[in-house]
Amino acid sequence: MKKILVLGAGLSTISLIDYLLKNAEENQWQLTLGDIDKELAIKKVNGSPYGRAITFDVTDEQNTLKVISDHDVVISMLPAFMHMKVITKCIELKKPMLTASYATPEVKALNEEAKTAGIPIMMELGVDPGIDHMSAMNVINRIREEGGKLKSFYSFTGGLVAPEYDNNPWNYKFTWNPRNVVLAGNGVSKFINNGRYKYIPYHRLFDRVLKRKILNYGDFEVYANRDSLSYREIYGLEDIPSMYRGTIRRPGFSKAWNVFVRLGATDDDYIIEDSENMTYRQFINSFLRYDPEMPVEIKLKLYCVNSCDPEVFKKLEWLGIFDKRKIGLKRATPAQVLLKLLLGKWAMDPDDRDMLIMQHEFKYEVGNEEKMIVSAMAFEGENQEKTAMAITVGLPLAITTKLFLQGKIKRTGIVLPITEDIYKPVLDELKTFGISFDEKEYMMG
Amino acid sequence: MKKILVLGAGLSTISLIDYLLKNAEENQWQLTLGDIDKELAIKKVNGSPYGRAITFDVTDEQNTLKVISDHDVVISMLPAFMHMKVITKCIELKKPMLTASYATPEVKALNEEAKTAGIPIMMELGVDPGIDHMSAMNVINRIREEGGKLKSFYSFTGGLVAPEYDNNPWNYKFTWNPRNVVLAGNGVSKFINNGRYKYIPYHRLFDRVLKRKILNYGDFEVYANRDSLSYREIYGLEDIPSMYRGTIRRPGFSKAWNVFVRLGATDDDYIIEDSENMTYRQFINSFLRYDPEMPVEIKLKLYCVNSCDPEVFKKLEWLGIFDKRKIGLKRATPAQVLLKLLLGKWAMDPDDRDMLIMQHEFKYEVGNEEKMIVSAMAFEGENQEKTAMAITVGLPLAITTKLFLQGKIKRTGIVLPITEDIYKPVLDELKTFGISFDEKEYMMG
């Protein structure tokens, strides 16, 4: 019997646990699910003879060491900031560890230690990061084998509401952490275009969207992610002239969202005075000039000249930004006020399904030809529990765990799913769950 | 003999030390000037029989305690972040202390301790903060005595090059910490207008300038300071409907500066890739869309539609932003690159003189009348050493020290110069140095 320890039984663990329990008998696995809330873990194990639930508190160092040492492999679904505590103990106890979270510089610095311990710490095994790495490397390595030289790699991912349930003027609902959506892009966005480094300040980010057809799935728009440059190293593309990663939204989203950005309504760094007794209308007005002779609506239009067209205005009005409803939040930042407003409007309905959409665009030279490969996938969730996000995070992590326990992945150190031994079997099995990439090849010029 | 300890012999200490040494004989003072660089302190003491120079290192706790305990009063001209070390020791040793720096919340929290020690910790005794407090409270208290009710208080300060030496298209030169000028306003600016809280995000700050005539001194413009709201409490104006503090520039400055802000060229939070080998032209281009068919100049004009008029463009070109000169700074932030460019252009010439300009605008009701008082001052420096900044920072601090040592100020705790016992004699004596406010009264409506 191999003993698997899953730490954290939160929202995105459902597909992971389902998969592990379904494959437990055949593979002779015993699953332990630990969470600070034991009831939640019990619910997720759902009476399976191959699973048991325990109370797990990562801040209890002694118990954490004991629990980890009792298992053969650890999967951490804890919040990202808790991973270091788990990783250092896994290295100490020589226990392999897998997670969907980012390999931070702090984690990467443990590469040699993990190698010495003879175990892999496998990171970025979910989606963005995860499936994006696997599917990108799958094409990049093929191009290399063909003798091609990559000139440009654009990659986009988005979590959206599935088309059948897309019924608001923003064509958007919260399918993942809403706070992260409100703060998205805050900072600077960096990429490289034909050898020129490009930096977009936050207040212009949603102004500079790319329009894109996503293979088979229609029209979308994309805004740049914060750091596209660091991915060059991950993919071994240090010299690539163009590299850009972005987030997918439905057309028109960014132009309207940009109004909030330009107002300063997404700022999370200061407290609005008397936010509790303010109305949403006053909130919007607080970013506009004082003018007792003009309604807030007109002032907003004047503030956002060139960008506040009727389509944008319709979206804003639909949110209720001009309502005289009290905010009722004490000591709130602008971002917190905006989040409260949006939660009332962009929440998924109980029957809604979400969708994950991803597209890679590779341009490369081979011989005397310039070619382009577009590789895209879209995947709908099943319901509010088995969301596209939960499935696409949980499945590749679960499959990689299986492959590892079956001895098919023999690596040590800090490992990302960018080598064929990992991405090929994972992508192959993901296809059986309907998570598959369509590909199209073009000739340029 | 009273023994005065001045800590820090930097740029802005010249007038302070001059004043103290000139008044030393009459008042029977002995001055010790301590600096980490003893040579600098020796130079500043300049052989006066009433002064001596010592090496002083605030991080040497034992010596700091010893030096402070040997004196009757301490004046700290150290960088602001070092003040706490001095203040806590002054309280411990029951030594009065004076400085031109801000009373941070951390400092204010020591009010009771300073009172128990029976000593004053006198803060904000220079200029902005300092002379602005004194001159404002001088008028505010007069309005109160008249039975007036303040409706609005706008207050502006600026450090500029004196008109005779104002010979560049920006009508601006660095007269104070250049780095602070590049980063000015970064964050959000808060004020209140007719009872409505107003917040201006940084990227719109230089868009929303006020045009102002400064009494007797001509046309200027003003952009909002970060926090005008906290000054309501300092001045006892908690209920005032309008309160705004701003920074004075010559007309047209902000519109051109705004181009840098909107580009993101004032960002200090990330490192530009390969900044060392980049040219200034490439630096500007890094914030603009990739377009091989358009020169940077045109792309910039398109980026700043509505704000990049010929006047603005002239200012930008004059700075050399389109030059193919190498930046030559390793691992620089955008703000550091911009600072290097500006230092080459906005530096004061050896014969240039600076100017400090300040204006307060008070609107108030008295009886059935609405009135306005405008109070303004402008003060030119003497040369590159005795700048307007150094004089207006050093003199009020020196005069307050004299008043304290003469027993004319009897306060304890954390003290700001907002009461008549302090501001009246200081303002009176400042007049003898040519630092005086002109006043004009208007009837509204």
Shared domain for B143 and B119, answered yes or no, is no
**Which of B267, B285, B306 has its CB closest to that of A201?**
B267
Q: Provide the pairing of β-strand A97-99 with A73-76.
A: parallel
Cross-strand bridge partners of residue A191: A198
**Which of B187, B194, B229 has its CB closest to that of A269?**
B187
3-state SS, residue A133: helix
Cross-strand bridge partners of residue B76: B7, B99
For the record, the structure tokens of A412 come out as 């040590």
Tell me which chain B residues have a C-beta less than 8 angstroms from the C-beta of A270. 187-188, 190, 199
To the nearest whole Å, the CA of B102 is away from the closest chain A CA by 20
Per-position b or e across B3-22, b if 16+ CB within 10 A of its CB? ebbbbbbeebbbbbbbbbbe
To the nearest whole Å, the CA of A228 is away from the closest chain B CA by 13
Rounded to an integer, the average pLDDT of A155-174 is: 97
With bands split at pLDDT 50, 70 and 90, how would you rate the model's confidence at A67? Answer: very high
User: What's the start-to-end Cα distance of chain B, in Å?
Assistant: 58
3-state SS, residue A148: coil
For the record, the structure tokens of B332 come out as 């620089």
Rounded to an integer, the average pLDDT of A399-418 is: 97
To the nearest whole Å, the CA of B408 is away from the closest chain A CA by 40
Q: Provide the pairing of β-strand B188-193 with B196-201.
A: antiparallel
| Torsion over CA: B57, B58, B64, B68 (sign) | positive
Nearest CA to A260 out of A328, A307, A201 is that of A307
Q: Best residue in A191, A206, A286, A307 to probe B by mutation, most B CBs within 10 Å?
A: A286
Shared domain for A46 and A99, answered yes or no, is yes
To the nearest whole Å, the CA of A138 is away from the closest chain B CA by 28
Where helices occur in A36-167 by DSSP H, the ranges are 38-45, 61-69, 83-93, 105-108, 111-117, 131-145
Contact B286 A199 (CB under 8 A): yes
Q: How far apart are CA A41 and CA A14, in angstroms?
A: 11
- For B297-340, how does the pLDDT look when each residue is reduced to its tens digit (9 = 90+)? 999 999 988 788 999 999 999 999 999 999 999 999 999 999 99
Question: Which pLDDT belongs to residue A416?
Answer: 98
Q: How far apart are CA A220 and CA A158, in angstroms?
A: 10
Domain around A362: 131-256+349-386+438-443
Contact B188 A262 (CB under 8 A): no
With bands split at pLDDT 50, 70 and 90, how would you rate the model's confidence at A197? Answer: very high
3-state SS, residue A226: coil
Contact A287, A265 (CB under 8 A): yes
CATH value at residue B161? 3.30.360.10
To the nearest whole Å, the CA of A24 is away from the closest chain B CA by 47
Shared domain for B330 and B197, answered yes or no, is no
Question: Of A343, A374, A401, which residue is a domain's last?
Answer: A343
Tell me which chain A residues have a C-beta less than 8 angstroms from the C-beta of B196. 282, 285-286, 290
Show the 3-state SS of A410-431.
CCCEEECCCCHHHHHHHHHHHH
Contact B197 A269 (CB under 8 A): no
Low-confidence ranges of chain B (pLDDT < 50): none
Q: How far apart are CA A261 and CA B206, in angstroms?
A: 17
Question: Of B343, B375, B410, which residue is a domain's last?
Answer: B343
Q: Best residue in B199, B258, B290 to probe A by mutation, most A CBs within 10 Å?
A: B199
Question: Which pLDDT belongs to residue B82?
Answer: 94
Exposed / middle / buried, residue B185 (Cβ in 10 Å: 0-12, 13-18, 19+): buried
Contact A290 B199 (CB under 8 A): no
Shared domain for A6 and A115, answered yes or no, is yes
Shared domain for B246 and B369, answered yes or no, is yes
Structural domain count, chain B? 3
To the nearest whole Å, the CA of A18 is away from the closest chain B CA by 42
What is the enclosing helix (H) or strand (E) of A349?
none
Contact A201, B261 (CB under 8 A): no
**Which of B229, B269, B286 has its CB closest to that of A197?**
B286
Which residues of B lie inside 8 Å of A (Cβ-Cβ)? 187-188, 190, 193-194, 196-201, 203-204, 208, 229, 262-264, 267, 269-270, 272-274, 282, 285-287, 289-290, 292, 305-306, 334
Contact A289 B208 (CB under 8 A): yes
Contact B199 A285 (CB under 8 A): no
Whats the size of chain A, residue-wise? 445
Contact B436, B429 (CB under 8 A): no
With bands split at pLDDT 50, 70 and 90, how would you rate the model's confidence at A294? Answer: very high
Shared domain for B243 and B102, answered yes or no, is no
Tell me which chain A residues have a C-beta less than 8 angstroms from the C-beta of B264. 188, 199-201, 204
- For B110-145, how does the pLDDT look when each residue is reduced to its tens digit (9 = 90+)? 999 999 999 999 999 999 999 999 999 999 999 999
How many CB atoms neighbour CB B181 within 10 A? 19
The amino acid that residue B196 corresponds to is R
Contact B229 A188 (CB under 8 A): no
B115 phi and psi, to 5 degrees?
Answer: -65, -45
How many CB atoms neighbour CB B277 within 10 A? 11
Rounded to an integer, the average pLDDT of A194-203 is: 97
Q: Best residue in A189, A190, A196, A233 to probe B by mutation, most B CBs within 10 Å?
A: A196
Rounded to an integer, the average pLDDT of A417-431 is: 98
Q: Output the average pLDDT for chain A.
A: 96
The amino acid that residue A41 corresponds to is A
Shared domain for A338 and A416, answered yes or no, is no
Q: E-assigned strands of B102-169?
A: 120-122, 149-161
Q: How far apart are CA B373 and CA B439, in angstroms?
A: 7
Q: Could you tell me which residues come within 8 angstroms of residue B436 by beta carbon, excluding any fewer than 6 positions away?
A: B377, B430
Shared domain for B289 and B358, answered yes or no, is no
Shared domain for B234 and B120, answered yes or no, is no
To the nearest whole Å, the CA of B248 is away from the closest chain A CA by 19
3-state SS, residue B158: strand
Question: Which pLDDT belongs to residue A171?
Answer: 98
CA angle B87-B91-B93, nearest 5°? 115
Contact B200, B239 (CB under 8 A): no
Tell me which chain A residues have a C-beta less than 8 angstroms from the C-beta of B188. 264, 267, 269-270
Shared domain for B402 and B299, answered yes or no, is no
Percent over 90 (pLDDT), chain A: 97
Cross-strand bridge partners of residue B54: B34
Q: Provide the pairing of β-strand A120-122 with A438-443.
A: unpaired
Shared domain for A154 and A121, answered yes or no, is no
Contact B197 A287 (CB under 8 A): no
A350: pLDDT strictly greater than 90: yes
**Which of B196, B204, B229 has its CB closest to that of A290?**
B196
Contact A64, A86 (CB under 8 A): yes
Peptide bond into A120 cis (omega under 30): no
Question: Which pLDDT belongs to residue B176?
Answer: 87
Rounded to the nearest 10°, the torsion over CA A251, A257, A258, A263 is 160
Tell me which chain B residues have a C-beta less than 8 angstroms from the C-beta of A306. 305-306
Rounded to an integer, the average pLDDT of A374-400 is: 96
Contact A263 B201 (CB under 8 A): yes
Q: Provide the pairing of β-strand A210-214 with B369-380.
A: unpaired
Task: Give the rounded distance of the alpha carbon of B334 from its chain centre.
Answer: 24
Question: Of B284, B319, B343, which residue is a domain's last?
Answer: B343
3-state SS, residue A252: coil
Question: Which pLDDT belongs to residue A277?
Answer: 95
With bands split at pLDDT 50, 70 and 90, how would you rate the model's confidence at A305? Answer: confident
Q: Could you tell me which residues come within 8 angstroms of residue A378 by beta carbon, excluding any fewer than 6 positions away?
A: A214, A216, A217, A355, A356, A357, A358
CATH value at residue B116? 3.40.50.720
A27: pLDDT strictly greater than 80: yes
Q: E-assigned strands of A133-286?
A: 149-161, 188-193, 196-201, 210-214, 218-224, 242-249
Contact A201 B272 (CB under 8 A): no
Nearest CA to B93 out of B29, B5, B1 is that of B5
The amino acid that residue A352 corresponds to is D
For the record, the structure tokens of A207 come out as 């102004």
Q: How far apart are CA B279 and CA B329, in angstroms?
A: 10
Contact B289 A208 (CB under 8 A): yes
3-state SS, residue A363: strand
Contact B397, B130 (CB under 8 A): yes
Shared domain for B149 and B179, answered yes or no, is yes
Question: Which pLDDT belongs to residue B153?
Answer: 98
How many CB atoms neighbour CB A432 within 10 A? 10
ipTM (interface predicted TM):
0.91
How many CB atoms neighbour CB A235 within 10 A? 19
Question: Which pLDDT belongs to residue B308?
Answer: 86
**Which of B198, B262, B282 has its CB closest to that of A290?**
B198
Tell me which chain A residues have a C-beta less than 8 angstroms from the C-beta of B208. 289
Largest CA distance in chain A: 77
| Torsion over CA: B408, B113, B16, B24 (sign) | positive
CA distance to B191, B258, B307, per residue, from B207 (Å): 16, 7, 9
